[in-house]
Structure formats: structure tokens, C-alpha cells
Structure 1
């Protein structure tokens, strides 16, 4: 294999140098990333290169002090030959090396997690944030002159002219029929589908000289001997001198109004911070919730997060404090759902926001609180998805029954999912179970 093939091989390895996304979620340093920039460690691959000795050794092929004869000893290694220039031996380094990262935004993270886990979540638009003007396809009866649809107005007038126009000379000849009256002429015109008004006939009647009346013995004789021209023939001959434009035909163009909805989401993260939630349990909560936050941020146009910590009481906290808080109190999970309901009602109306309510803990809860309080509250809080994540290293404890009670209380399709995480290897399975439940619902 030549040098060029070696370089191509190193580059190929370098392109695959980023740490596997699943492994990063399970075991990587999630805390080193920002909400808008996820840093995934990469394995540094250095391309091979020739190293040149910076010391002056003379010309090519020359040794120190001339060329030795065959079999002549070359002497003992001198200081600096295998160390640095000062003759000091190299020592193992005690400083941390620089780590390199592949940075991705939440949108890219969501796309890659979809591909990794086989997800296909389609966010729903909720809040109408603006009305976008589309093409000028809407017509109204009023508007500024600049938006008048003159083409339509002209067409309507032309249709009316073609429908109502008649050969005036032909009708005047009908007035010369012997013993005919204006009413006779009007009735005959109507029978011939000539759309002439009685008023027009009466106006024209006196214009016919008396000595011309009686020119025709009947209307039939007149029609047989007088050529009748059509409207189109007259327009071709005389041109279009006027078109009857009427106000009732006026229409004004307005742009089509298209409502644009923003895909808003609020994620309520609830965590048990009671004395039983030790470090390993807290870490499993962080490993599950953090990727969920990144994923939903990447999926929605606008994402907001609410963090609620609870023991026997509940309070809202900042994200930076959420995963580290630990109290010595007892546990009443319903206190967190009561606070979540208040916050959602006040800040994030269901008509405008997609909602996710994610809770996590070790499934320990005060007696009867789950059945009597938590389950009813979960039913009362409208949300795309309710999820509870039990973090119980080593398996479920005897008195940890909250997750099982929630699981029994809700049927499939009700938008509630329970996931169990006993070690980091379970995290991606839990994430898949949560997000695929939302996808199906």
C-alpha cells in the first residue's frame, strides 16, 4: 500500500471519528454542551508526516566526524540523541490533553437521533403568529382604486353588451309595419329574442315619418326582406364604441390571507429531589431528560422549558440547578403536578402550545398519593404526552410502586408512557419509548 492510499485511509477514518451518538447519550459528558450547541467528542486522527531533525547534521549522507570504516564502533549514545536538545530524558506528561468536539445544533441532533432510533415525530402547529398575504385571489366589493379588477369589470360589461345589444335599424323597420303600435312591436321583438326595452321603442316611435308607416304589411314580410345584423358583425364593422360598465360589477382584488402557525412547545421537566434520590439516580434522570430537551428544541420552531423540583412540596427552579438539587424531605409527587397545572394554565394555554410533561424519580411516593392525586391530575392536564421515568439502579425497590400504578391506570393510546432506567445502557431505549409513543398518538 503506497503513501497516497495511506493518506486516503486516514482521512476515511477521520470522517468517522465522531463518537457514536447512542454511546454519547449513555456515557458521554452531557454537561459540556449548551442548550443550543451539543458537543460530541471526536477521536483525533493525525495524518502521518515526515519528521525532520532540526539539528545541523551536515550534508546528505554525512555522519559526524567523517564516514566510519566498516566495523568501526560508532561510540556510545550522546546526551540529546534520544531526548530533547538539553539532554533531558522525556517524561510522561501529566497535563490533560486537548479534547476536540464535533458541534451540532439541536436541529441536526434531532435529525440524527431520528435516524439512529428510527423515529419520525412530526410537530404540530399551534399558535397563529402571523397572517401571511398570498396571491391576490380574493375579490371584494369595496377597496382602493388601485386594486380594482378592471379586466373583470370590462369582461362583465362586454358580456352585458353582447347579451342586450340589438340591431336598432332592424327594430325601426318593425315600426313601419302597417297598423302596428309600440306594444305590438315590443311583443314581436320579445318573441324574436330581441332584448329591446319598451321605453326605447316609445322614444323612437315618433322619429318614424308618417309617410313611411305601412311600408310592410306584416312583421313576417319585414323580416323576410330586411337583413338583420348580429352584434359581432356590427362590432367588426363599426368597432366597439362603448361598453356598459356598472358599479355592481366592480370587484377589488385582495391578497389571500394564509394563517401561519408556529410550532410552539413547552416541556415541563419534573424531578424528585427527596433524600432517596442519590447521585446515581440523579445522573440517570439527567441522561434521559437532557437529550429529550435537545431533541424537542430541534423539532419545534420555539421551545420553552419549565423545571420543577419536589420532595413533599414543589417549587420551580432554573435549569442549571435542576439536576443537582437534593433535599432531605419526603416525597409527594402530586405537589409537582399541582404546580405544573398552575404554570401551564397561566403561561402556556393548550390552544397555543404543544405540551410535554416529563417526570422522573425512583417511584417512591407517599401512601395513596399516586392513585388519589397524581393520576387524576395527569388526566386533567392536557398534553401531547405525559411520561414518567423510573430511575432505580439495580431494579425496582419494594416500596417503589409509583411507575407501576401509573402504568396500570392508563390504557395504550391515552398519551401516557412509563419507562424504566436502571443503568445508562437503558437511556436510549427509554428515549425511544417516550418519543415513539408521541409519534403514534
Structure 2
């Protein structure tokens, strides 16, 4: 392998060493990406190259000036040559990114986690012509379905064809006439006409009319050849087409539906939601947003923050905001219901309601208000993500109560994220069990 092949191979390896998607979601810097462009770090492979010595030295066996005496130093070391006490470097390491849009990200995540979410269309926005798969009895000559016409002609040919020599042998039965042969042929399912039998009888030599003493003797001695075997051997000279065999292709009418989705992200911003918990929420919700945006034609996002009260915020505020108040999760679902009912009817929009927090909630709020509201709000998917990086708190029971109540409901998911390594499992839990 030459240098050129080596170089191409190194470049190929470098392109393939995009950071593993699951690793990026769990531990990568999500902040380098935008809503419409996901930037995945690429692990760079250094390309081999020649480096020339910068020192001005003579050729082999040649000195500079006078020949030095034994023991004299040959020369001063160049800066950086073996000097371990130099100043630390200020340049950063080489890096690059592979940029993908949300649609490609969704495809990659499907392969990475084994997902296969099929987006649902909500509204018929137009009817379009599909493939020419339907047929009709009339139509322009340019759409005549020759394959169907030929098949129908061949079927008729097989149905009309019969072994003529076999029927002629029946005319040689002693005492039989055309009417006897015609009746016998019909009993045998041979599609012969009386006129054809009479014509063959007229041409039959007199000496052959008593060849067989009975029809049974003829049948036991003469083998009847199938029409398909005879046609395969002799070929087909003509196909009996009929007007009623004609079929004309026309395009199937397809209703194109618009696949809209609204994703409601809910986050607890109370005093107990410290930085590590907020980071885990961001690391879980951000890939979910990218994924759903890539799956649907039109995606809109709503961000709701809550402590004891709930209010709508923008995305930049959603992951950073923190308050010192208490927690009442139902306030967020009440605000969600108001927004969805007013702007995103379920008949026109797919809905995902994704909530996250540390499972701490005010007394009886989960059972008395949150669960009834979740049952009331129609959605493709309700999900709650509990984040407890320091271990489970004694009064953090919201996730368990929701999970226990909706055990048999496949449209509700509960996931637990205690460290970055749990994120991809949580995403799979939220997306994998949704019915197609």
C-alpha cells in the first residue's frame, strides 16, 4: 500500500470516527448544537506527514568551521528539543464536528436505540395521485394494461383448448356417432362443440370407425394430454383477446396528511432542583426535542416552568431558571391543558407532554390533581422523568404514584435518570412503547 492509499485510509477512518450517538447524548456538549442542526464531535485521526529538521546542519560527516576538540559541546539544544520545563502550550487540541439535521438525527437514534416511531397524520391536506395500481374497464389507450389483457387471453386459450386427437379416438368407438361423442366429451369437461365433432366425423375413414370395441377400451389405451403441456410443446400461434378483457390503469388516490406535533416540556424549578438535576433534565429533553422535530413535518414546542405556580417560558430560560418556592406539579398540567385546548386541538395535532423533576410534590397533589389532569389531557404520550442524582429523597413519591396508577396504560411512561448514563434508557422508555 502506497502513501496515497495510506492517506485515503486515514481520512476514511477519521470520517467514520464520529462520536457514538449514545455517548454524545449522555456525556457530550449539547450546547454546541442548534434547534435545526445537531453537531456531533468527530474524533480526529492525525494524518502522517514528513517533518523536516529546522536546524542548519551540514551533510553527513561535515562539521561547521573548525573541527571541535574532544569534550567540547557540539551545539546548544534548540528550543523545545527535550526541554521539559518550557511554558505550557496555549493552543487547543484539534477538533471538528459532524453536523446533521433533526431528521437525520432521528434516523440515527432509531438505529442506535432500536426505535421505530411512526408519525401519525392528523389532517388530510390534499389528495394526490399515487402509483398506477388501480384498474378500470375504460380509459385512454395509453393506459391499457397489456399484462392483464394478455393474462386474460391466455386463461381463455387454456379454457378453450382441448386434445383434438383424443376426441377423434372417441369417434372410432364401434357404434358411436357425433352425438354420443359430444355427450361423452361434455361429461369429461372437454370444451368441444357439436359442429367440430360432426366435421371430424365426416372426415373419418370408414375403416377406422370400429377401432375400439368400447369407450372404456379407448380411455384405457389412449392418454389424454393436458392443454398446458401441449401449448408448452407446440407454442401459441394466437391468443383469443376479447373486448371484455381490456383493463386500463389509473393512479390510486392517496390522501396526504399533515403530521403536526406539539411537545410540551414541563420542568420543576423549585428550590430543590439544583444544578445537577437541571443538567440531567436538559440532557434528556434536548435529544427528545430533536428526535420529534425530525420525525414530524411541523413541530412546535411549549416550555412550562413551575414551582407552586406555573408559567410559560422560552427555551433558553427553561433549563436555567430556578426559584426558591415550593412545588405543586398540578399547576403545570393546568397550564398545559389551557394552552393545548386553545391552540393545539388533538384532532389536528399530535401531542407529547413531557415533565421532569425530582418527584417532590405538595401533599396529595399527585393523586388528587395531577393524575386526573393527565387522564383528561389527550396525548400520544405522557411521560415523567425523575432526576435524583444524590439518591432518592424520602418524600420524592410523585414518579412512583404515577407509575403505579398508569401501570396498564401504554401511553404513559415513567423514567428514572440518576446519572448521565441513564439518559438513553429514559429516552427509549419514553418512545419505544408507543403504539404505531
Report the TM-score when normalising by structure 2.
0.67
Residue 289 of structure 2 corresponds to residue 293 of structure 1: yes
Shift of the alpha carbon at 1:66? 6.7
1:272 match: 268
Higher mean alpha-carbon deviation, 94-103 vs 366-375, is at 94-103
Aligned equivalents of 1:401 and 1:298: distance in 2? 34
- SS class of match (1:355): strand
- Residues 382-421 of structure 1 aligned to structure 2 (within 5 Å): 382-421=378-417
1:47 match: 47
Aligned equivalents of 1:402 and 1:82: distance in 2? 61
* Structure 1 residues 195-250: Cα deviation after superposition (integer angstroms, max 9, x where no partner): xxxxxxxxxxxxxxxxxxxxxxxxxxxxxxxxxxxxxxxxxxxxxxxxxxxxxxxx
Shift of the alpha carbon at 1:301? 1.3
Aligned equivalents of 1:129 and 1:150: distance in 2? 29
* Structure 1 residues 254-287: Cα deviation after superposition (integer angstroms, max 9, x where no partner): 9976431111111100000011100011011001
Q: How many residues align?
A: 327
1:157 match: none
2:76 match: 78
Aligned equivalents of 2:253 and 2:4: distance in 1? 60
1:422 match: 418
- SS class of match (1:363): coil
Aligned equivalents of 1:3 and 1:67: distance in 2? 41
Point out where structure 2 has 5 or more consecutive residues left out of the alignment: 142-249
Alignment root-mean-square deviation, CA: 3.4
2:358 match: 362
* Structure 1 residues 28-65: Cα deviation after superposition (integer angstroms, max 9, x where no partner): 1111110111111122222110112456656x647452
**Distance of aligned partners of 1:2 and 1:340 in 2 relative to their CA distance in 1, 3 Å threshold:** same
Shift of the alpha carbon at 1:318? 0.4
- SS class of match (2:43): coil
Residue 347 of structure 2 corresponds to residue 346 of structure 1: no
* Structure 1 residues 142-193: Cα deviation after superposition (integer angstroms, max 9, x where no partner): xxxxxxx899xxxxxxxxxxxxxxxxxxxxxxxxxxxxxxxxxxxxxxxxxx
- Residues 225-304 of structure 1 aligned to structure 2 (within 5 Å): 258-304=254-300
Aligned equivalents of 1:283 and 1:135: distance in 2? 49
Point out where structure 1 has 5 or more consecutive residues left out of the alignment: 139-148, 152-253
**Distance of aligned partners of 1:137 and 1:299 in 2 relative to their CA distance in 1, 3 Å threshold:** closer
1:337 match: 333
- Residues 90-109 of structure 1 aligned to structure 2 (within 5 Å): 91-97=87-93, 99-109=95-105
* Structure 1 residues 313-366: Cα deviation after superposition (integer angstroms, max 9, x where no partner): 111110111000101111110111111111111111111111110000000111
Does the 8 Å CA contact 2:389/2:418 hold for their aligned counterparts? yes
**Distance of aligned partners of 1:331 and 1:257 in 2 relative to their CA distance in 1, 3 Å threshold:** same
Shift of the alpha carbon at 1:431? 0.6
Match of 1:305 among 301, 305, 319: 301
Aligned equivalents of 2:47 and 2:369: distance in 1? 62
Shift of the alpha carbon at 1:2? 7.5
Shift of the alpha carbon at 1:437? 1.9
2:321 match: 325
**Distance of aligned partners of 1:63 and 1:264 in 2 relative to their CA distance in 1, 3 Å threshold:** farther
Report the TM-score when normalising by structure 1.
0.66
Aligned equivalents of 2:333 and 2:29: distance in 1? 30
Residue 19 of structure 2 corresponds to residue 23 of structure 1: no
Aligned equivalents of 1:3 and 1:137: distance in 2? 55
Does the 8 Å CA contact 1:287/1:424 hold for their aligned counterparts? yes
**Distance of aligned partners of 1:370 and 1:77 in 2 relative to their CA distance in 1, 3 Å threshold:** same
Shift of the alpha carbon at 1:16? 3.3
Larger Rg: 1
Aligned equivalents of 1:47 and 1:388: distance in 2? 47
1:36 match: 36
Shift of the alpha carbon at 1:127? 2.3
Does the 8 Å CA contact 2:44/2:94 hold for their aligned counterparts? no
- SS class of match (2:433): helix
- SS class of match (1:103): strand
Shift of the alpha carbon at 1:75? 3.4
